Amino acid sequence: MAARGRCPECGSESLVEDAHYAQQQLVCAACGCVVSEGLLTTTYTDEEHLREVAYSQSTGQKEQQSRCLQRGIRRVQDLCKALQLPAVFEETAVSYFQRALQLPAFHLVSLEKKELLGGCCVLVTCRQHRWPLTMGSVCSLLYAKQELFASVYLSLQQELGLSVPALSMAELVTTHLDSFQLFQPTANIPAAFLEDKEKLLARTMGLVELASEAWLVTGRHPVPIVTAAAFLAWQSLRPSPRLSCPLARFCRLAGLDLPPPAHLRLKELLEILLGMASQLSWLRAFRLDKKTVVKHLGELLQHRLFLLKRAFSQQQQEDMAPSSDSPCQRSPSSAVPQQQGRPSAGKQQQQQHGGTLRPLLPPCLIHPRKRPRAPSAPAVPITGNEPISDSEIEQYLRSPEEMQAFRKAKGWP
Amino acid sequence: FKDDFSTSPHLFTPMSPYDLELPIQGASQLSQSKELCTDFSSVDLSFLPDVTQDNKEQNLSEDGHEAQKELDGSLPSKDSGVFMDESSLSHPGAALASPEAPDVCPPLTPMTPVTPATTPSESSGIVPQLQNIVSTVNLACKLDLKNIALHARNAEYNPKRFAAVIMRIREPRTTALIFSSGKMVCTGAKSEEQSRLAARKYARVVQKLGFPAKFLDFKIQNMVGSCDVRFPIRLEGLVLTHQQFSSYEPELFPGLVYRMVKPRIVLLIFVSGKVVLTGAKDRSEIYEAFENIYPILRGFKKPS
């Protein structure tokens, strides 16, 4: 605000009150001459009336981070170190955390959630760099409840508007097998169980790709599939001593967790493999079952794309080659279960080729658990304004005797 | 001729041998591959627009010509070209012969006669069915919940767990949450009218219990619909191409959560091809959202 008066130097009237550091001054806006200035020192009486500047009003508060933020950042950094992530991940995760904590959705929540927020930021960073960190591992590191972690993760994704790529299976397989204990000889592992890492990795990768083609991966938790695939791959590399080892023992020896769905994934994988095996003419003579098909896993994987197309009926007719293929599509050996399938597509294939082929569909469509819902159209379309009869309403009201009994039962007076 | 083929696959289930890339598979495929509902006789389809020029050309078969005459004005375009005899054709609810006699009648029959948002020639041929409607109403009087729980047979009240009475009626099969402020939430109805009727019945029960209940500000808050596209979907592919709208976390939930911007609907898409649509305030939003997602999903039908 311009003060009144004239500048003694140039005579202009535009005098401005300005502060030079903490000292008030009256300055001419035209020539810059200082007309008058405040006192540098204060007297005793002045000091008695002065009040100290509160911390919240000083500029220092904005520069310093809140304790909550500091603790959170430390936690994120610790997590990155525990997971042995590259340094650039740590910076990204910390920046996400800082951004998120400023939002009201995360600022005013419980400390437990703030801790999970740090874990979520690390997870997002890893996903964006294609580092296969599973939610399960982060949860176990943070001792977190899965549901709470899930809700914080999803809200983080939404609030920050992040596009988080999906977990990449190839990297997951590599990382998962890193913790395998069957690569080095130790005391309690029989020599026949030791395996070469590269071969196991390659074969497991092939099996996981096969599972993904065969609809076993979409919509399912990725880790049990990797466990089942690693087991089959390991068995197939040296079948004779290893076929008798069950999945549970394998996981114990290898030092891996055995997630409950792994058994089901194993069954599904074996079913797919048996189907494929029935299409290889030199294997049909063997009458394979789920124990023995593992021995031929290498061949099956080698020709997997071709076999998948042949072994399972396709949805588009264009894939079915003409008569030259028909000898190969005779009914497979009796040991192979192939009688499932949705009626329409399956029957179409059968009519055209005389074989019994199961369509290549996700297992939830092959074995539907619920009966398909018939559409229930109401017989009479209602308007919502129909008259409501008294008798209908009265059926919902208690009689006096009932009320007495209810009151007694509840212990009310 | 060829142009119409770009739209006609929507009328048929993807299990059909018909394919966009092979236009030479012509009319014969059209007539074999139906899986549409066989019985239209109970449904009044007269609300659908008359068959247009486009639709007539689609409905070809070996016996195409007589059939086309029957089509003019009598059959809706959703019926397609298997024409057994003319007598069945002249009936508007003609039963369609389908070689595979499906077990399931796909949800083609809408719940109440409603004009579809898009013209039939562009639509997918699948109508989402409404599964749940959530509505609220203000009874405009303070309620004594303990009293209600005492007098009503169909009421449940546990103040330590939840501060409202949970009341249920049999017809329409719904549940209501009645709060002491007089506000009520009604859930479980399968159509807007059913929800309104149910809410009125609950209000009537409260009235009969002696409270001066009114029926103010009835509003539908949420509508949930579901349908089946009948082919499996590669969710991994969908999340790659539509990253900004989709969230697919198989570690958390088997379905893909697609947040559509226009209309503002959330879709849960599963690998089996089932789609759940929620967040709508009006039924047309559900239909519109499904018509928007259907071509996207068709792109992910994996022809392995």
pLDDT tens for B65-78 read 444 444 444 433 44
Inter-chain residue contact A154 with B304, CB threshold 8 Å? no
Inter-chain residue contact B252 with A135, CB threshold 8 Å? yes
Strands, DSSP E only, in chain B? 129-138, 155-157, 164-169, 174-179, 183-189, 216-228, 246-248, 256-260, 265-269, 274-280
| The domain over range A1-42 is classified in CATH as 2.60.40 | no
Choose from A210, A396, A403, A407 for mutation: most chain B CBs within 10 A: A396
Distance in angstroms (rounded) separating the CA atoms of residues B117 and B288: 7
Confidence of residue A376 (pLDDT cuts 50, 70, 90): low
Residue B173: per-residue pLDDT: 92
Taking residues A143-154, report their average pLDDT. Answer: 88
Inter-chain residue contact B43 with A136, CB threshold 8 Å? no
Q: Is residue B258's pLDDT more than 70?
A: yes
B73 touches chain A (CB under 8 A): no
Per the CB < 8 A criterion, the answer to whether B228 and B106 are in contact is yes
Q: Which residues of B touch A136 (CB under 8 A)?
A: 251
Q: Which of A54, A57, A23, A55 is nearest to A37 (CA)?
A: A23
What distance, in Å, lies between the first and last C-alpha atoms of chain A? Answer: 75
Burial of A184 (0-12, 13-18, 19+ CB in 10 A): exposed
Those residues whose C-beta lies under 8 Å from the C-beta of residue B15, and which sit 6 or more positions away, are A315, A342, A344, A345, A348, B33, B35, B230, B231
Residue A328: per-residue pLDDT: 40
Taking residues B27-43, report their average pLDDT. Answer: 46
Q: Which residues of B touch A153 (CB under 8 A)?
A: 249, 252
Left (φ > 0), alpha (ψ -120 to 50) or beta: where does A67 sit?
Answer: alpha
Q: Is residue B224's pLDDT more than 90?
A: yes
Burial of A21 (0-12, 13-18, 19+ CB in 10 A): exposed
CA distance A37 to chain B (A): 60
Taking residues B229-255, report their average pLDDT. Answer: 89
Helix (H, G, I), strand (E, B), or coil: what is residue B49?
coil
Q: Which residues of A touch B271 (CB under 8 A)?
A: 215, 218-219, 362, 364
Residue of chain B whose Cα is closest to the Cα of A409: B150
Q: Is residue B11's pLDDT more than 80?
A: no
Taking residues A156-178, report their average pLDDT. Answer: 85
Confidence of residue A14 (pLDDT cuts 50, 70, 90): confident
Choose from A218, A407, A412 for mutation: most chain B CBs within 10 A: A218
Locate tokens 């998962």: which residue? A176
Q: Which residues of A touch B111 (CB under 8 A)?
A: 377-378
Q: Is residue B132's pLDDT more than 90?
A: yes
Taking residues A367-385, report their average pLDDT. Answer: 71
Distance in angstroms (rounded) separating the CA atoms of residues B106 and A184: 57
Per the CB < 8 A criterion, the answer to whether A89 and A80 are in contact is yes
Q: Which residues of A touch B303 (CB under 8 A)?
A: 314-316, 318-319
- Residue-averaged pLDDT of chain A: 79
Confidence of residue B302 (pLDDT cuts 50, 70, 90): low
Q: Is residue B274's pLDDT more than 50?
A: yes
Least trusted range by pLDDT, from A200-204, B101-105, B169-173, B272-276: B101-105
Q: Is residue A31's pLDDT more than 50?
A: yes
- A1-42 and A67-160 share one CATH topology? no
Distance in angstroms (rounded) separating the CA atoms of residues A357 and A347: 9
CA distance B69 to chain A (A): 30
Per-residue buried b or exposed e for A284-323, using 16+ beta carbons within 10 Å of the residue's own CB: beeebebebbbbbbebbbeebeebbbbbbbbbbbeebeee
Which of the listed CATH numbers 3.40.309.10, 3.40.50.1000, 3.40.50.1820, 1.10.472.10 matches domain A67-160?
Answer: 1.10.472.10
Residue B43: per-residue pLDDT: 56
Residue A373: per-residue pLDDT: 63
Using CA atoms, how far residue B147 sits from A212, A403, A407, B156, B249, in Å, is 58, 10, 11, 11, 47
Taking residues A101-116, report their average pLDDT. Answer: 84
Q: Where are the domains of chain A?
A: 1-42, 67-160, 169-317
Residue of chain B whose Cα is closest to the Cα of A410: B150
Taking residues A196-200, report their average pLDDT. Answer: 88
Distance in angstroms (rounded) separating the CA atoms of residues A262 and A245: 15
Confidence of residue B84 (pLDDT cuts 50, 70, 90): very low
Output the pTM of the full model. 0.67
Nearest to B243 among A154, A163, A388 (CB): A163
B126 touches chain A (CB under 8 A): no
Inter-chain residue contact A218 with B236, CB threshold 8 Å? yes
Q: Is residue B199's pLDDT more than 70?
A: yes
Choose from B146, B219, B271, B276 for mutation: most chain A CBs within 10 A: B271
Inter-chain residue contact A167 with B113, CB threshold 8 Å? no
Confidence of residue B49 (pLDDT cuts 50, 70, 90): low
Inter-chain residue contact B35 with A344, CB threshold 8 Å? yes
pLDDT over 70, % of chain B: 59
Taking residues A112-140, report their average pLDDT. Answer: 89
Bridge partners for B133 per DSSP: B189, B223
Q: Which of B92, B104, B116 is nearest to B35 (CA)?
A: B104
- Residue-averaged pLDDT of chain B: 73
Inter-chain residue contact A166 with B248, CB threshold 8 Å? yes
B152 touches chain A (CB under 8 A): yes
> What ipTM does this complex have?
0.71
CA distance A285 to chain B (A): 27
Distance in angstroms (rounded) separating the CA atoms of residues A317 and A245: 42
What structural domains does chain B harbor? 135-220 (3.30.310.10), 229-303 (3.30.310.10)
Residue of chain A whose Cα is closest to the Cα of B207: A393
Bridge partners for B278 per DSSP: B224, B266
Instruction: Tell me the HSE value of A176 on the side-chain side, using a 13 A CA sphere.
Output: 29
Q: Which residues of A touch B190 (CB under 8 A)?
A: 376
Inter-chain residue contact A154 with B252, CB threshold 8 Å? yes
Per the CB < 8 A criterion, the answer to whether A293 and A273 are in contact is yes
Confidence of residue B36 (pLDDT cuts 50, 70, 90): very low
Q: What CA dihedral angle connects A170, A174, A175 and A180, to 10 degrees?
A: 140
Which DSSP string do the residues of B166-208 spell out, in sequence order? EEEETTTTEEEEEETTSEEEEEEESSHHHHHHHHHHHHHHHHH
Helix (H, G, I), strand (E, B), or coil: what is residue B241?
helix
Confidence of residue B200 (pLDDT cuts 50, 70, 90): very high
pLDDT tens-digit series, residues A42-60: 666 666 667 776 766 666 6
Distance in angstroms (rounded) separating the CA atoms of residues B235 and B270: 8
Residue B291: per-residue pLDDT: 93
Taking residues B240-249, report their average pLDDT. Answer: 88
Q: Is residue A34's pLDDT more than 80?
A: yes
CA distance B283 to chain A (A): 15
Q: Is residue A236's pLDDT more than 80?
A: yes
CA distance A196 to chain B (A): 30
Inter-chain residue contact A381 with B113, CB threshold 8 Å? yes
Distance in angstroms (rounded) separating the CA atoms of residues B129 and B267: 14
pLDDT over 90, % of chain B: 48
Least trusted range by pLDDT, from A182-191, A251-260, B282-291: A182-191
Residue A382: per-residue pLDDT: 81
Choose between A98 and B64: higher pLDDT.
A98
Distance in angstroms (rounded) separating the CA atoms of residues A357 and A311: 7
Residue B21: per-residue pLDDT: 45
Helix (H, G, I), strand (E, B), or coil: what is residue B138?
strand
DSSP letter, residue B96: P
Choose between B104 and B175: higher pLDDT.
B175
Least trusted range by pLDDT, from A267-271, B6-10, B44-48, B296-300: B6-10
Q: Is residue A375's pLDDT more than 70?
A: no
Residue A115: per-residue pLDDT: 85
Nearest to B235 among A134, A218, A402 (CB): A218
Taking residues B162-191, report their average pLDDT. Answer: 94
Nearest to B19 among A220, A221, A316 (CB): A316
Among A165-169, A336-340, B112-116, B156-160, the range with the most confident prediction by mean pLDDT is B156-160
Q: What CA dihedral angle connects A234, A237, A238 and A240, to 10 degrees?
A: 80
pLDDT tens-digit series, residues A300-342: 888 888 887 777 776 543 333 333 333 444 434 433 444 443 4
DSSP letter, residue B269: E
Q: Is residue B205's pLDDT more than 90?
A: yes
Choose between B253 and B55: higher pLDDT.
B253
Tokens matching residue A14: 């535009």
Q: Which of A96, A222, A82 is nearest to A164 (CA)?
A: A96
Residue B34: per-residue pLDDT: 45
Q: Is residue B90's pLDDT more than 70?
A: no
B176 touches chain A (CB under 8 A): no
Taking residues A8-16, report their average pLDDT. Answer: 82
Q: Is residue B104's pLDDT more than 50?
A: no
Per the CB < 8 A criterion, the answer to whether B20 and B5 are in contact is yes
CA distance A199 to chain B (A): 27
Confidence of residue A41 (pLDDT cuts 50, 70, 90): low
Inter-chain residue contact A397 with B151, CB threshold 8 Å? yes
Q: Is residue B287's pLDDT more than 60?
A: yes
Residue of chain B whose Cα is closest to the Cα of A349: B17
Cβ pairs bridging A and B (under 8 Å):
166
